[in-house]
């Protein structure tokens, strides 16, 4: 089967779905790899690198799509700025599209794929099971995002992170509050601790307390009888009563913080507001808030998507593609997620979509002209 790897066209996206090393491995498994000219250049992978791995380079994007049995992307398909066509309209019927779509937030893509007869696997829908661990693109990208979030916030802060004792006096360590102890939050915690900060972490799931403390963080615990975690290990949507309790407890921690990093997402829902404008007003001048959930509505009430702004003397960062700022590593781990998935669902270079397979059942959104994933169907209704 022929795999096509187009260049990402969403503004600012430098990642690529397949890197040369993974291309070489997939070719050995029986696939043919076709790559659009300069598709990997934003992540420092040249056309020569892909050719050396055995891939073919296509300068004409329509020919590239037409050659494909499988299309691999990082971002969801969007309108192509040069061709005045949607990327889905470039894909042949019965082609398999694999991308990090965030399908519960962009369910219209499922509808478009079904209408076009395109089979869609959304990488964010891969089940959180032991077998699927190597395919978990959400975790691989969140890990890098958590690391980068701390570096960006530290760069904006007019202070250093560690305790420093000098002849001119003692410099107190920076205080960092992280909201959300998922993959991104825990990586942010580890990174901030390595830089020398005092780190406090808030999460609606009491079960993560041990992980937070094992990394040297202080857990901000909200007492509740509610079960705050779903079967997949993700945070559930919290009740109004719980969010009120959480905001009251968080208020004083945020007021004392130099940096606040928010990471809280609920699949398919608008991100919960955790940092209110009132909290921002009580923060110290020059403090920094980085909202990692800004693409899906934001955890900070006054963050702006894709912008860094100063409001009430606090710097608020609304970077909506943190993994894309580290494209070399983000592309490499994402490509390995894709490789693991393709190896799982194929034999000798031929993909077979078995709806009895737990991973396929969870991640396959459209098949044979229909939307088949139950959660996506419920969002579309």
CATH code (residue 226): 3.40.50.720
The closest alpha carbon to 137, from 3, 4, 363, 333, belongs to 333
- Report, in angstroms and rounded to the nearest whole number, the Rg of the chain calculated over CA atoms: 22
Q: Which helix (H) or strand (E) holds 278?
A: helix 277-282
Contact present, 346 and 340 (Cβ < 8 Å): no
Mean pLDDT in residue range 8-24: 97
Are 217 and 359 within one domain? Answer: no
Q: What is the Cα–Cα distance from 176 to 209, expressed in whole angstroms?
A: 17
Q: What percent of the chain has pLDDT over 90?
A: 87
Q: What is the pLDDT of residue 245?
A: 78
User: Are 151 and 247 in a shared domain?
Assistant: yes
Give residues with Cβ within 8 angstroms of 130, minimum separation 6: none
> What range defines the domain where residue 151 resides?
143-325
Distance CA 234, CA 31 (A): 34
Instruction: Give residue-wise pLDDT tens across range 264-276.
Output: 988 888 999 999 9
**Helix (H) and strand (E) counts for the chain?**
13, 21
DSSP β-bridge partners for residue 121: 98, 364
pLDDT at 381 over 90: no
Residue carrying the six token digits 């991104």: 184
Query: 83 and 10 in one domain?
Result: yes
- pLDDT digits over 47-105, tens only? 999 999 999 999 999 999 999 999 999 999 999 999 999 999 999 999 999 999 999 99
Residues 222, 181 share a domain:
yes
pLDDT band at 243 (very low <50, low <70, confident <90, very high): confident
Checking if the pLDDT of 152 tops 70, the result is: yes
Residue 332 lies in a domain: no
Tokens representing residue 271 in the block? 């991100």
Residue 2 has pLDDT above 90, yes or no: yes
| Cα–Cα distance, 216 to 137 (Å, whole number) | 26
Residues 201/217, Cβ–Cβ less than 8 Å? yes
The per-residue pLDDT for range 119-143, each reduced to its tens digit, is 999 999 999 999 999 999 999 999 9
Asked if 134 and 380 count as a contact pair (C-beta separation under 8 A), the reply is no
Task: Using a pLDDT cut of 70, give the percent of the chain over it.
Answer: 96
Query: What pairs with residue 235 in β-bridges?
Result: 229
108 domain-assigned: yes
Helix (H, G, I), strand (E, B) or coil at 375: helix
What interhelical angle do 327-345 and 20-28 show, nearest 10? 10
- The confidence score (pLDDT) of residue 223 equals 72
Identify the pLDDT of residue 206. 86
Residue 178 has what DSSP assignment? E
The residues that are catalytic are 128, 133, 136, 139, 234
pLDDT of amino acid 103: 95
User: The whole model's pTM is what?
Assistant: 0.92
Does residue 272 form part of some domain? yes
Q: What is the chain's length?
A: 381
On the CB side of 3, CA atoms within 13 Å amount to 29
Structural domain total, the chain: 2
Do 164 and 203 have their domain in common?
A: yes
């Amino acid at each position: 089967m022929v795999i096509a790897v187009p260049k990402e066209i969403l503004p600012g996206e430098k990642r690529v779905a397949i890197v040369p090393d993974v291309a070489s491995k997939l070719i050995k498994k029986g696939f043919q790899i076709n790559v659009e000219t300069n598709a990997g250049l934003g992540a420092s992978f040249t056309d020569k690198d892909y050719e050396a791995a055995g891939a073919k380079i296509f300068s004409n994007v329509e020919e590239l799509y037409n050659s494909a049995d499988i299309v691999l992307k990082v971002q969801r398909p969007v309108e192509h700025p040069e061709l005045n066509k949607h990327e889905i309209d470039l894909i042949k019927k019965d082609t398999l599209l694999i991308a990090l779509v965030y399908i519960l937030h962009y369910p219209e893509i499922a509808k478009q794929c079904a209408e076009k007869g395109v089979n869609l696997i959304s990488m964010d829908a891969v089940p959180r099971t032991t077998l699927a661990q190597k395919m978990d693109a959400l975790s691989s990208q969140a890990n890098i995002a958590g690391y980068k979030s701390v570096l960006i916030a530290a760069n904006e802060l007019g202070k250093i992170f560690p305790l420093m004792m000098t002849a001119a006096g003692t410099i107190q360590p920076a205080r960092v509050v992280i909201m959300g102890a998922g993959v991104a939050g825990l990586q942010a915690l580890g990174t901030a601790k390595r830089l020398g900060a005092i780190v406090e972490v808030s999460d609606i799931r009491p079960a993560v307390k041990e992980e937070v403390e094992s990394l040297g963080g202080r857990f901000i615990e909200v007492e509740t009888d509610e079960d705050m975690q779903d079967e997949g290990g993700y945070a559930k949507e919290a009740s109004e009563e719980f969010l009120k309790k959480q905001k009251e407890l968080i208020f004083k921690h945020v007021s004392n913080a130099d940096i606040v990093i928010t990471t809280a997402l609920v699949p398919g829902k608008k991100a919960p507001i955790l940092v209110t404008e009132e909290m921002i007003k009580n923060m110290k001048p020059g403090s920094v808030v980085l909202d990692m959930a800004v693409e899906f509505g934001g955890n900070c009430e006054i963050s702006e998507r894709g912008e860094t702004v100063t409001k009430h003397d606090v710097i608020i960062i609304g970077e909506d593609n943190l993994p894309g700022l580290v494209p070399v590593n983000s592309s490499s781990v994402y490509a390995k997620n894709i490789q693991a998935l393709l190896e799982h669902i194929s034999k000798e270079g031929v993909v077979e979509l078995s709806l009895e397979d737990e991973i396929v059942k969870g991640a396959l959104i459209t098949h044979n002209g229909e939307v088949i994933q139950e959660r996506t169907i419920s969002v579309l209704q």
